[in-house]
């Protein structure tokens, strides 16, 4: 069993809650209140700023050019491809840059990113990957589950582009690079080292669930 397979197995009870979460189901069914999605997009934009900084720490801690390229490439994807999804919705949802700049991160958002950044600062490139993977990969799995459950969701006037972006082959390919790298780096890890990664991955998976709760309840 690879490291990522182990982590996914340990966190399965958390991830299963993503697929039936009312916010996620609302996107899938096209019934989510637009105001809820609007607030989520603002908070997620703020989240992505610190999420990107976590990858930047990976660049600084990398001890090889390929590793630097891995994290730098992820930064480019986040600041262009993924944030382009958000910028597109800014016009649709009448979100101004000024509103984003003056909005404070909600407490679950701030707690999540603070935790990720701490793991990245205190750990190695392996801890960086462990702390970001639950977000990166869960969005892929959630979007693909939506498409499986309701294929026509990709054509939804409001939520279709969000679903298509995270269910795309391009997004999955980038995640696969992260997964393979984490598996490769941890082949010789001790039980104690594996437990450390499990603690980080489980915590971030819980934070992901809390983020969906935050979005649904508009905290």
- Give me the catalytic one of 82, 127, 153, 208: 208
Where b means 16+ CB within 10 Å and e means fewer, 21-49 reads: bebbbbbbebebeeebbbbbbbbbbbbbe
Report d(CA 181, CA 192) in Å as an integer: 20
Q: Torsion-angle region of residue 30: left (phi > 0), alpha (psi -120 to 50) or beta? A: left
Tokens of 200: 């980080």
- Give me the catalytic one of 82, 135, 153, 204: 135
- Residue listed under structure tokens 């939804």: 156
Residue 153 known to be catalytic: no
Tokens of 10: 């340990």
Tokens of 168: 């795309």
Q: For residue 41, give the nearest of 121, 131, 109 by alpha carbon.
A: 109
Report d(CA 136, CA 116) in Å as an integer: 13
* CB-CB contact of 167 with 174 (8 Å): no
Residue 180 known to be catalytic: no
Report, as residue numbers or ranges, the catalytic residues. Answer: 135, 208
């Amino acid at each position: 069993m690879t490291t990522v397979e182990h982590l996914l197995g340990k966190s399965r009870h958390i991830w299963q809650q993503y697929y039936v979460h009312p916010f996620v189901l609302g996107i899938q069914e096209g019934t989510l209140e637009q105001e809820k999605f609007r607030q989520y997009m603002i908070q997620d934009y703020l989240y992505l700023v610190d999420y990107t900084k976590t990858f930047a720490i990976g660049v600084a801690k990398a001890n090889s050019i390929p590793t630097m390229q891995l994290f730098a490439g992820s930064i480019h994807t986040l600041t262009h491809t993924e944030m382009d999804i958000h910028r597109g919705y800014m016009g649709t949802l009448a979100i101004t840059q000024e509103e984003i700049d003056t909005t404070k991160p909600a407490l679950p958002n701030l707690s999540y990113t603070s935790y990720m950044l701490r793991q990245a600062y205190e750990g190695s490139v392996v801890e960086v990957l462990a702390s970001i993977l639950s977000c990166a990969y869960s969005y892929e799995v959630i979007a693909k589950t939506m498409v499986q459950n309701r294929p026509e969701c990709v054509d939804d006037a409001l939520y279709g582009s969000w679903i298509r972006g995270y269910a795309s082959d391009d997004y999955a390919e980038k995640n696969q690079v992260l997964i393979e790298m984490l598996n490769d780096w941890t082949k010789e890890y001790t039980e104690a080292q594996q437990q450390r990664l499990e603690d980080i991955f489980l915590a971030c998976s819980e934070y992901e669930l809390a983020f969906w709760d935050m979005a649904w309840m508009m905290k």
